[in-house]
Amino acid sequence: MTISYRSPGIACVDHSIEVPLDHDDPTGEEISVFGREVVASGNENADLPWLLFLQGGPGGKATRPAPAATWLRRALREYRVLLLDQRGTGRSTPANRQTLARFDSGDQVADYLRHFRADSIVRDAEAFRRHLIGDRPWSVLGQSFGGFCTLTYLSIAPEGLAAAFVTGGLVGLDAGPDEVYRALYPRVLRKNTEYFARYPQDESIVRSVFDHLAEHEVLLPTGERLTPRRFQTLGIEFGKTSTFDRLHYLLEEAFVASPGGRDLSDTFRHGVNDSVSFATDPLYALLHESIYCQGGASLWSAHRLRREFPEFDLDEGSSVRFTGEMIYPWMFEEDPALVPLRAAAEALAARTDWPSLYDHDTLSHNTVPVAAAVYHDDMYVDRELSLQTAEQVKGLRTWVTNEHEHDGLRMDPGVLDRLIAMTRGEA
């Protein structure tokens, strides 16, 4: 084991492998996929079982290890962990406005990106497993979208898995984008209700910010404009622990008195910037609806269905309600990280040849121990769809809890601890 670097309590080794862009065409274009091996100090040469971590997303790079990382600290008590930068993210061959500029058209970009869903990610993981440990199986921990990938793993390569742990990521096996977003909008509204019940004084502040943005050109630190509808997307993080509080404290300092009159503060502009930009994770915006497609086109599902929920309308004088993880066509007109990818987004939204991601027969005969945390009030993944999926995977055990938000894995080491115990019949 050649150590790349150490942090207090952990040792890390960096790995990169080359894989086909299209696993069905192994002689075609190749891309690089990066994984970081992490082991507890003192266990560098121990013969430990492996745990693959699949990050949420789509388009999110793996957790960067730190001594205080909650779930990682628990995992390292008995596993050697691989933090996989899923294709297109982190230190894997990146897919963003800069790298995708090599293509001549949006259709060509879409043809390329169709290989960046769960089925390709799982085949990358299998290539990594064979590279690291040969035929030995490993366990997998899938957070959110990583849970979607875990169900695909159980469908197409269950022989590679010794056990599977899922947190907030049991996707509806047959739920297309319309079903997903039609269920999502009411959950986001409930989160808005909770937010303004906790901070009723913020109703007027939010309305004032919205009106100010409608009347003035407000630029973010990056130089791009903060429009009213971009401001409305701040609810994207409402399903995470402490998000309500962070937004409230940001709104507390929204306005300052300047020589030219009342203005939005630099503190506010900086605080908003990262939440409304997809500069660090453009694949999230590009592929978000495609991850639910199996045969049909998404056709901008969230945008089409929004008309069914007038509570989100921004009429003059009405209450402003924040949206969640919905992706809208106009984002590719206003976010500089997405503007060059607008044609690709349109092509992806119109695409109809998406293959199936889950094998019902294989899942119904599953023999891999699986445990899943289903968060009762999860804003991002519908509880009822999760429980339906649990019934379709043989042997899958669920822990339904309202003790955690969607980021429970990151907040409490007890989440992973319980799931490990469940797969062993100890809980």
DSSP code, position 12: E
Confidence of residue 1 (pLDDT cuts 50, 70, 90): low
Q: Is 335 a catalytic residue?
A: no
Give the mean model confidence (pLDDT) for residues 373-398.
97
Quote the tokens at residue 21. Answer: 């862009």
Distances (CA, A) of 270 to 72, 222, 259, 261: 30, 9, 21, 20
In the set 120, 144, 155, 290, the catalytic residue is 144
Quote the tokens at residue 97. Answer: 């406005």
In the set 115, 288, 303, 406, the catalytic residue is 406
C-alpha 356/C-alpha 18 separation (Å) is 25
Beta strand segments in 207-269, E: 255-258, 261-264
Alpha helices in 277-341 (DSSP H): 282-287, 301-305, 331-334
pLDDT of residue 274: 85
pLDDT of residue 266: 96
Q: Is 281 a catalytic residue?
A: no
Confidence of residue 313 (pLDDT cuts 50, 70, 90): very high
Of the candidates 27, 4, 26, 6, which has an alpha carbon nearest to the alpha carbon of residue 16? 4
> Which H/E stretch holds residue 128?
helix 118-133
Q: Is the pLDDT of residue 82 over 90?
A: yes
Give the mean model confidence (pLDDT) for residues 197-201.
97
C-alpha 90/C-alpha 144 separation (Å) is 18
C-alpha 5/C-alpha 36 separation (Å) is 11
Q: Is the pLDDT of residue 68 over 80?
A: no
Of the candidates 284, 365, 290, 369, which has an alpha carbon nearest to the alpha carbon of residue 331? 284
Residue with tokens 């955690």: 404
Quote the tokens at residue 11. Answer: 């040792």
Name the β-bridge partners of 139: 51, 163
Confidence of residue 262 (pLDDT cuts 50, 70, 90): very high
In the set 47, 315, 353, 361, the catalytic residue is 353
- Mean pLDDT, rounded, of the chain: 95
**What percent of the chain clears pLDDT 90, i.e. is strictly above it?**
93
Q: Is 212 a catalytic residue?
A: no
pLDDT digits (tens, 9 = 90+) for 105-152: 999 999 999 999 999 999 999 999 999 999 999 999 999 999 999 999
> Are residues 401 and 167 in contact, defined by beta-carbon separation less than 8 angstroms?
no
Give the mean model confidence (pLDDT) for residues 83-99.
98
Write down all domains in the chain, each with its CATH number in brackets.
5-173+358-423 (3.40.50.1820), 177-350 (no CATH)
3-state SS, residue 377 = coil
Beta strand segments in 92-245, E: 138-143, 161-167
pLDDT digits (tens, 9 = 90+) for 205-230: 999 999 999 999 999 999 999 999 99
CA torsion, points 136, 81, 120, 145, in degrees to nearest 10? Answer: 130
